[in-house]
Amino acid sequence: MTRLNVYQLGQIDYASSYIWQKEFTEHRRPDTVDQIWCLEHYPVYTLGLSGKSEHILGQNHIPIVHSDRGGQVTYHGQGQLVIYLLLDLKRKGISVKKYVNLLEQAIICMLDALQISANRKIGAPGVYVNEKKIAALGVRIRKGCCYHGISLNIDMDLSPYTGINPCGYPGLAMTQIADFGHKLNVTNASLQLIPHIVEQLDYENYSLQDNGYKEILNSV
């Protein structure tokens, strides 16, 4: 199946979106159309399956949520684009390693179009600009289907990152698209990134939707 539905969901709290992703993945069928959800979260630290509490450096008002994605601790907040990809990787014949590589490449291509030179780092998933991290990836696979996805810093308050070792790396500096003179909002950024994701993952076409989550779950 080469169709793909893309949803703009606005601002959603992390815990709700986490539950929704698991529900969608649990209920999907072999013929369920793959989906991408574009959104932003209210401030939250999330700890992946291998997350260690020592990477949270101090107490503050930002809540901490445990997640079943891979990786260590990261931060989500307004002004950051979060893209959740709910795909049947087995149906598409894509390995997890290749999937991560394709997502990274999609981000690199989008940034290149903005004349921002970005790269990967061996052994440290994500996308970097001048040794600073601009995008993080987290993946979970269940019965050949994936959820979680990408966070790309657009125009946000980066100071909460100082309260953690981002992705488990002490002293890792963060950056964002706004630092390079581009004034994008999360929706505009998603509309620029999605075509690159579609191309990298080899979908024939995609459809932009504006349904709420209840309609999404009913479409499974």
List of E strands, the chain:
4-12, 34-41, 44-47, 64-66, 73-76, 80-88, 127-129, 132-137, 140-142, 145-147, 149-153, 207-209
Question: H/E element holding 163?
Answer: none
* Positive/negative CA dihedral, 166, 135, 142, 217: positive
Residue 203 has pLDDT above 70, yes or no: yes
Q: What's the one-letter identity of residue 32?
A: T
- Which pTM value belongs to this model? 0.93
Rounded CA gap, 43 and 155, in Å? 14
Per-residue CA distances from 182 to 62, 99, 116, 147, 155 (Å): 27, 28, 10, 29, 9
pLDDT at 189 over 70: yes
Distance between CA atoms of 194 and 110, rounded to whole angstroms? 9
Residue 32: phi and psi, rounded to 5, are -65, 135
Kindly list the catalytic residues: 167
- So where are the chain's domains? 4-218
Residue 5 tokens, joined: 């539905």
Domain 4-218 class, CATH top level? alpha beta
Q: What is the pLDDT of residues 90-117, one digit of tens each?
A: 999 999 999 999 999 999 999 999 999 9
Position 82 pLDDT exceeds 80: yes
Percentage of the chain with pLDDT > 90? 75
DSSP alpha helix (H) spans, 35-165: 89-92, 96-113
